[in-house]
Amino acid sequence: MKKELLDGKTALITGANRGIGLAIATLFAAHGAKIIACVRKPGPDISESIAQLASVNVNRIRVLKLDLEDIDSIKEASSSLIAEGKKLDILVNNSGFATGSRYQLISRENLQRSLQVNYIGPLLLTQRLIKILCKDDASRSSSVVNVSSSAVNFPNVGMSAYSSSKAAMEQSSKVLAKELATSNIRINVLSPGPVETDMLLLMNNESRNNLIDSTWMRRPAKAQEIASVALFLASDLSSYITGQVIHVNGGLG
């Protein structure tokens, strides 16, 4: 019987109720991981997909309330896991917020929200979970996968706040990878190009089509294609990879 890549591991995934996050949660669970699926509003408002995933994998899926805009929510979620004595092997900082406002029109609220959700929140969450991510055995490592965006390198009109916040995440990830290497924590960045998710629909038709046409493959990725690379980075297949930005963009350029 083929061994599952994440057998015996526990993964916390933010923004797990739709899009890339849901695809990652589904694939990780299929490969044997126990999933802590973080959503802003647990209960009847969570997507049918994550609810179905939880019902099918009743012993592997746990839904946890986490709002990266709310510092208290970050503290409560992380403290509950630490208090339970949880050991965490994988952290996927996937949640994101994008606003389509042009620079001249962007509001202070949306600028602050972009920075909080895309950069500050994930940074603070990672900081608070370090103690349960650390591995004493040098032959084992934990993996942090930070989901960024090709918007860092290929900015589009109206995406100044989003691009800047993701750029901050990428740079911090490289610094943290160096700082935490001796704690056996690997940190890498997954940078998708256009993906068939709700976020792609935020762009106007012209910008969206131009972006897709700029890929060599002339199509957006499916969320499952991004999840497959996240699986590689989370598993021991990438045990000697840290501090890297992995571009999954269909040859965007």
Give residue 205's pLDDT.
Answer: 78
Q: What is the spatial distance between Cα 158 and Cα 241, in angstroms, rounded to a whole number?
A: 33
Tokens 């969450």 correspond to 125
Model pLDDT for residues 174-202, shown as the tens digit of each residue: 999 999 999 999 999 999 998 988 777 66
Tokens 């999933």 correspond to 35
Model pLDDT for residues 109-151, shown as the tens digit of each residue: 888 999 999 999 999 999 999 999 987 766 678 999 999 999 8
Provide the pLDDT confidence category of residue 101 given band limits of 50, 70 and 90.
Answer: low
pLDDT at position 159 over 60: yes
Percent of the chain with pLDDT strictly greater than 90: 61
Give residue 135's pLDDT.
Answer: 77
Give residue 5's pLDDT.
Answer: 95
Burial (CB < 10 A; 0-12, 13-18, 19+), residue 221, is: buried
Residue in 195, 181, 185 with CA at minimum distance from that of residue 247: 195
Model pLDDT for residues 166-175, shown as the tens digit of each residue: 999 999 999 9
End-to-end CA distance of the chain: 41
pLDDT at position 3 over 70: no
Provide the pLDDT confidence category of residue 94 given band limits of 50, 70 and 90.
Answer: very high
| 3 state DSSP class of 190 | strand
pLDDT at position 154 over 70: yes
Q: What angle do CA 230, 234, 240 make, to 5 degrees?
A: 115
Average pLDDT, integer, range 224-242: 97
Residue in 25, 12, 17, 32 with CA at minimum distance from that of residue 142: 12
Q: Catalytic residue among 103, 119, 162, 240, which?
A: 162
87 vs 51, higher pLDDT: 87
Look at the alpha carbons of 221, 226, 229, 233 in this order and tell me if their dihedral is positive or negative.
positive
pLDDT at position 1 over 50: no
Task: Return the DSSP state at 119.
Answer: I
Could you tell me if residue 158 is left (phi over 0), alpha (psi between -120 and 50 degrees) or otherwise beta? left
Model pLDDT for residues 26-50, shown as the tens digit of each residue: 999 999 999 999 998 776 656 566 6
For the chain, the 3-state helix, strand and coil shares in percent, each to the nearest 5, are 45, 15, 40
Q: Active site includes 103?
A: no
Give residue 51's pLDDT.
Answer: 63
Q: Identify the CATH assignment for 10-248 out of 3.40.50.620, 3.40.50.720, 3.40.50.2000, 3.40.50.300.
A: 3.40.50.720
pTM of the model: 0.91
Q: What is the spatial distance between Cα 133 and Cα 129, in angstroms, rounded to a whole number?
A: 6
| 3 state DSSP class of 185 | strand
134 vs 152, higher pLDDT: 152
